[in-house]
Amino acid sequence: MCAFCSMKLRRRAAAVRRRMHCLWLLLLGLALAMLATSGFLNQDQDLHAADPSRRPLQRLPGPPELEVIVDSLDLALELGEDLAPLKSLQEDQLLFVFPSAHGSRTQPQSKRSYKMLMRGTFKDAATPGPARLRAGSLQREMEQASVQRHGFNEALSETISLHRRLPEARHPECFGEKYSESLPSASVIICFHEEPWSTLMRTVHSVLDTTPKQFLQEVLLVDDQSQSRHLKVRLGSYVSELEGVRLIRSTRRLGVGGCRTMAAAKAKGEVLVFMDSHCECQEGWLEPLLERVAQDRSRVVSPIMDVIDWQTFQFNITQWPVRGVFDWRLDFYWESNPQLQDFHPEEPVLPLQSPALGGSVLAIDRNFFQSVGAYDPGMVLWGAEQIELSIRVWSCGGSMEVVPCSRVAHLSLHHRPYIFPDQDMLRRNKIRVADIWMDAYRKIYYRRDTLAHFIKQSESPNIAERLRLKRSLGCRNFHWFLSTVFPQLYVPQDKPALSGELYNVGTGSCADYPRGEQQQGGVMNIAPCSGTGGQVIRTSSVIREAKLTHSKVTCGSVVAL
Ligand code: UDP
Ligand code: MN
């Protein structure tokens, strides 16, 4: 190789070595930079893990959302009772505190941590900030949206004190009433499903603010498997600070009756007071109820239920006398100013017997409740449970009344906000009422709800257990209930005596309606028998005689109901 060539090669090799050095230095620099960054991050994570509840929210670096973990153990019954307190957080800094889905039973150290979202970071937050609420038109929009979402003006409710006092609605004579000093203790049971914060907490505070401590054993808040975030850790933490309030969580959806029965088994008070999760009590509401139950343990009592308007949150006074009734469609309602023989206007503080009571607030002796069969466990989620309990209490040895010196206001909803998995749930519950308690009178209900009739026939619900209970308690029949407790319920004589096709044995044809006239009850024709059910008619006994004589047809295939 020539000397020139070997010099050129050496120079090239030196240049490559220099470039390699540069590359190494670059790589080293990068590696050091990465190490430094990860070290910093780790330090930051350690800080979070150390004690997040003590970290002031406003000092968080980066995005405002801090995600850490809550031990999933805490999601079991009694959630929230042993969680780290949120003392360092201001209530208005904290929009939601809720458990993370990543919690694990093998990480007990994660128990003291929470996931937090600052105001405004939660996109469909139902709870508006106070500043936004002040802007007039925006407030109206928020209010409309909240009515749609909750069935009442929750945005307005948020701005009303949790400790507001209702205007006095009791009759002046109530103030002269004296109650025994040794009244039984009460457990107030409040079952809730997806109840907004303001109405739920106003209910709880209203009970605490209006009830003498010596009569209140406890307030049992029972979460019927709500998913709303404000009802998770935030609620657990808030309730743990309230004396005498216990929070129970159900691990499956129980519905109104199931939830109340479950809570009753855990209650310690002598008297159970079931209360809806959106009520406000009037001062002195509990004593008159306890007094009546103490005098007769089989007496089930209700306050006068005043009404909180779903839009304005104004308080509407219910006129006395009032009592609970139901119709043949098995719909419950309060009947104001009924013409009652046992009502004497000169004695405005006397309780009045009531054929039924609504479920919004109801006081019942705990032992009597258990012995009379609690709520029917066969009923699903919601509806007609108050009618079932009413007929059962009366028929099986108890009684019901409205006590006028006790008043509680109930929020009337614009619509029911929560979703039911079963659209015919209410019907299914009514079918149980009819089949278990109404004997032959059940047909009057089925005639008013043909779909219920079909459901009952296709499903034949299992009512054996409840019929056994009815027998073992020696309960009276529905005829007794109608004639003794609720004689005002008119028993309609619309009972068809016969139904089927009217078949003329002479011509071999059937009575038929001209098309489209079935509803108006037009003159009938004679037509070939179709056999499809389209010619089925129903006749009352009177009409049957008239028609049969007049048209001289015999009822070949007419069958008695
Ligand atoms: N509720 C419940 N589980 C359900 C449905 C309702 O715990 O599946 C609660 C609800 O939150 C309320 C009470 O039961 O506190 C009665 O329900 P609601 O107020 O809807 O009945 P209404 O007053 O309209 O009869
Ligand atoms: Mn209600």
Using the predicted structure, report yes or no on whether residue 51 has a pLDDT greater than 90.
no
Q: What is the pLDDT of residue 539?
A: 60
**Pairing between β-strand 186-192 and β-strand 216-223 as defined by DSSP bridges:** parallel
Q: What residue spans define the domains of the chain?
A: 58-102+112-120, 144-491, 496-548
**139: amino acid identity, one letter:** Q
Using the predicted structure, report yes or no on whether residue 114 has a pLDDT greater than 90.
no
Answer yes or no: are the C-beta atoms of 503 and 494 closer than 8 Å.
no
- Say yes or no: CB of residue 193 within 6 Å of ligand 1: yes
User: 437: Cβ–Cβ under 8 A, 6 or more apart, which residues?
Assistant: 388, 391, 392, 395, 470, 478
Mutate which of 201, 226, 382 for ligand 1 pocket (most atoms within 8 A of beta carbon): 382
195 CA: nearest ligand 1 atom: 11
What separation in angstroms does the CA of 519 have from each of 513, 515, 522, 528? Answer: 10, 10, 8, 21
- Angle (nearest 5°) at CA 467 between 462 and 468: 110
Q: What is the pLDDT of residues 463-482, one digit of tens each?
A: 999 999 999 999 999 999 99
In this structure, the residue with its CA closest to atom 23 of ligand 1 is 360
CA–CA separation, 142 and 170 (whole Å): 35
**72: amino acid identity, one letter:** S
Q: What is the pLDDT of residue 538?
A: 62
- Averaged pLDDT for residues 98-127: 33
In this structure, the residue with its CA closest to atom 9 of ligand 1 is 192
* Whole-number average pLDDT of the chain: 77
Q: Which of 148-152, 334-338, 540-544 has the lowest mean pLDDT?
A: 540-544
Sign, Cα dihedral of 419, 420, 424, 425: negative
192 CA: nearest ligand 1 atom: 11
- Say yes or no: CB of residue 259 within 6 Å of ligand 1: yes
Strand, helix or coil for residue 420 = coil
Residues 205-220 as b/e (b if ≥16 CB within 10 A, e otherwise) read bbbbebbeeebbbbbb
Q: What is the pLDDT of residue 542?
A: 43
User: 267: Cβ–Cβ under 8 A, 6 or more apart, which residues?
Assistant: 187, 189, 217, 218, 220, 366
Q: What is the pLDDT of residues 335-349, one digit of tens each?
A: 987 677 778 888 899
Mutate which of 154, 222, 253, 277 for ligand 1 pocket (most atoms within 8 A of beta carbon): 277
- Say yes or no: CB of residue 226 within 6 Å of ligand 1: no
- Say yes or no: CB of residue 382 within 6 Å of ligand 1: yes
In this structure, the residue with its CA closest to atom 12 of ligand 1 is 276
Confidence grade of residue 493 (pLDDT, cut at 50, 70, 90): confident
**527: amino acid identity, one letter:** A
Mutate which of 150, 154, 225, 276 for ligand 1 pocket (most atoms within 8 A of beta carbon): 276
- Say yes or no: CB of residue 223 within 6 Å of ligand 1: no
Using the predicted structure, report yes or no on whether residue 82 has a pLDDT greater than 60.
no
- Say yes or no: CB of residue 192 within 6 Å of ligand 1: yes
Percent of the chain with pLDDT over 70: 69
**Ligand 1: distance of its center to the CA of 277 in Å?**
7
Structure tokens at 126: 């139902």
Residues 265-284 as b/e (b if ≥16 CB within 10 A, e otherwise) read eebebbbbbbbbbbbbbbeb
Greatest Cα-to-Cα distance within the chain, rounded to the nearest angstrom: 141
**Ligand 2: distance of its center to the CA of 42 in Å?**
50
- Averaged pLDDT for residues 96-108: 31
Confidence grade of residue 496 (pLDDT, cut at 50, 70, 90): low
Name the pTM for this structure: 0.69
Strand, helix or coil for residue 214 = helix
Q: What is the pLDDT of residue 22?
A: 58
- Say yes or no: CB of residue 194 within 6 Å of ligand 1: no
Q: What is the pLDDT of residue 96?
A: 29
- Averaged pLDDT for residues 358-379: 97
- Say yes or no: CB of residue 301 within 6 Å of ligand 1: no
**Ligand 2: distance of its center to the CA of 174 in Å?**
26
**Tokens 């006398």 -> residue:** 321
**Tokens 């004689």 -> residue:** 487
Mutate which of 200, 253, 256 for ligand 1 pocket (most atoms within 8 A of beta carbon): 256
CA–CA separation, 460 and 346 (whole Å): 51
Q: What is the pLDDT of residues 178-230, one digit of tens each?
A: 999 999 999 999 999 999 999 999 999 999 999 999 999 999 999 999 999 99
From 361, 360, 356, select the one nearest 391 (Cα to Cα).
356
Helices (H), 354-484: 366-371, 385-395, 425-437, 442-448, 450-459, 464-472, 478-480
**Ligand 1: distance of its center to the CA of 224 in Å?**
9
**2: amino acid identity, one letter:** C
Q: What is the pLDDT of residues 294-314, one digit of tens each?
A: 999 999 999 999 999 999 999
The H or E element containing residue 48 is helix 3-50
Q: Mark residue 554 as left, alpha or beta (left: phi above 0; alpha: psi -120 to 50; beta: remaining).
A: beta
Answer yes or no: are the C-beta atoms of 356 and 386 closer than 8 Å.
yes
CA–CA separation, 276 and 383 (whole Å): 13
In this structure, the residue with its CA closest to atom 10 of ligand 1 is 192
- Say yes or no: CB of residue 293 within 6 Å of ligand 1: no
Q: What is the pLDDT of residue 420?
A: 77
- Averaged pLDDT for residues 100-114: 32
* SS3 labels along 223-281: ECCCCCHHHCHHHHHHHHCCCCEEEEECCCCCHHHHHHHHHHHHCCCCEEEEECCCEEE
Answer yes or no: are the C-beta atoms of 557 and 510 closer than 8 Å.
no
Q: What is the pLDDT of residue 511?
A: 80
**35: amino acid identity, one letter:** L
358 CA: nearest ligand 1 atom: 25
Q: What is the pLDDT of residues 221-255, one digit of tens each?
A: 999 999 999 999 999 999 999 999 999 999 999 99
Helix, strand, coil tally for the chain in percent (to 5): 40, 20, 45
- Say yes or no: CB of residue 195 within 6 Å of ligand 1: yes
Mutate which of 189, 193, 280 for ligand 1 pocket (most atoms within 8 A of beta carbon): 193
Q: Which CATH number fits domain 144-491: 1.10.357.10, 3.90.550.10, 3.40.30.10, 1.10.3720.10?
A: 3.90.550.10
Confidence grade of residue 498 (pLDDT, cut at 50, 70, 90): low
Q: What is the pLDDT of residue 117?
A: 31
What separation in angstroms does the CA of 279 have from each of 60, 206, 305, 407, 434? Answer: 39, 8, 9, 11, 30
Q: What is the pLDDT of residue 180?
A: 94
Using the predicted structure, report yes or no on whether residue 124 has a pLDDT greater than 90.
no
* Cα distance between the two ends of the chain: 122
- Say yes or no: CB of residue 416 within 6 Å of ligand 1: yes
CA–CA separation, 275 and 302 (whole Å): 10
410 CA: nearest ligand 1 atom: 23
Using the predicted structure, report yes or no on whether residue 48 has a pLDDT greater than 60.
no
* 549 or 436, greater pLDDT: 436
Q: Which of 75-84, 192-201, 455-464 has the lowest mean pLDDT?
A: 75-84
The H or E element containing residue 209 is helix 197-210
**Ligand 2: distance of its center to the CA of 331 in Å?**
15
Q: Which of 259-263, 306-310, 425-429, 518-522 has the lowest mean pLDDT?
A: 518-522
CA–CA separation, 326 and 488 (whole Å): 11
